[in-house]
Amino acid sequence: MPRIIVSSRFLKNGTSGKRCGLVKYIATRESVEMYSPQSRGIPVTKNQTELIQKLLEMFPEEKISHEYEDYRSDPTKENASELISELLERNADRITDRKMLVKYISERPGVEKIGKHGLFTSTHGEVELSDAMKTIADHEGNVWTHVVSLKREDAERLGYVDPESWRSLVLNNMKKIAEAQRIEFNNLRWFAAFHNTAHHPHIHLLVYSSDPKEGYLTTEGIEMIKSAFANEIFSDELNYIYKQQTRVRDDLRAVAKRKMQELYSEISTPSS
């Protein structure tokens, strides 16, 4: 199972209502219920199973998520709720049944807020939510949405448990994001919000170009973004692996050299 998940899609021009609602949702979303530790291990309910089947029919691409893998391997009430919440959250702009959205989003610690909401961007200081909503809603070009998710143990071990660490991650990879989305670097614009969820902390990242005619994202581009984030998040571990590989190669070369010298000595020594 991948240690980092990146799921992406775009909101085309003419969907200002959906865009506006999505920005507000990811910026201000809060939990409505928390399960107690005693509830863990309780089997998935019939209603949860039916809802999950319905949602996965609507959004089959979500089967790559950490939450789906957890639910598939251990179909408990807790994992089902986690999956349902994530399916609804990732696709909030595509769901018209708001009652279903409010009812089933649960078991979430909510967005990490910066001031009155959790939205942040490349500039320091608090983002004006109403301005961001209007900017995204009125943008004449496409707006791409990415959800970047980690496993809880990786997020805690590597320090990705607060908005600033995720903001730094995006800032450090802006050039690669621009390249992956075929956007001139100086035209790249973005907003994001960090959701410190129980099992899989993640960010919602909205990306667009100041030039409405610019920008295009392919499967290859999504992989480039995923690779860029993964290489930075796990950089220390990758450096350790590279050092270990280098040491093994050096040891093998040393052994091979010694063996060749021994063989040469045997060949060169006259037989008695």
Alpha-carbon span 66 to 4, nearest angstrom = 9
- The pLDDT of 104-131, averaged and rounded, is 65
Give the pLDDT mean for 237-251: 56
CA distance 243 to 172: 24
Amino acid of residue 188: L
**pLDDT by residue (tens digit) across 46-99?**
878 888 888 888 888 888 888 888 899 999 888 887 787 778 767 765 654 433
Considering only residues 10 and 147, tell me which one the structure prediction assigns the higher pLDDT: 147
Alpha-carbon torsion 196, 30, 91, 45, what sign?
positive
pLDDT of residue 250: 60
How far is Cα 190 from Cα 213, in angstroms, rounded to an integer?
16
Q: What is the pTM (predicted TM-score) of this model? A: 0.60
Q: What is the pLDDT of residue 112?
A: 56
- Please give the pLDDT value at position 209: 94
Is residue 21 pLDDT above 70, yes or no?
A: no
pLDDT of residue 1 exceeding 50: no
Banded pLDDT at 196 (limits 50, 70, 90): confident
What is the rounded average pLDDT of the residues 95-106? 37
Q: What are phi and psi of 180, to 5 degrees?
A: -65, -30
Angle at 138 between CA 20 and CA 170, to 5 degrees: 70
Amino acid letter for position 118: G
Among 17-21, 58-62, 113-117, 247-251, the range with the most confident prediction by mean pLDDT is: 58-62
Write down the pLDDT at residue 242: 47
Taking only the tens place, the pLDDT of each residue in 151-169 is 888 888 888 988 889 999 9
Confidence of residue 103 (pLDDT cuts 50, 70, 90): very low
Residue 185 near residue 207, CB atoms below 8 Å: no
Q: Is the dihedral of CA 112, 160, 81, 50 positive or negative?
A: positive
Q: Which residue has the tokens 């909101």?
A: 11
From 107, 142, 122, select the one nearest 30 (Cα to Cα). Answer: 107
pLDDT for the residue numbered 241: 46
Per-residue pLDDT at 227: 92
Of 83, 122, 129, nearest in space to 104 by CA = 83
Average pLDDT over residues 33-54: 68
**pLDDT computed for residue 95 by the predictor:** 56
Q: Is the dihedral of CA 255, 260, 266, 270 positive or negative?
A: negative
Proportion of the chain above pLDDT 90, given as a percent: 18
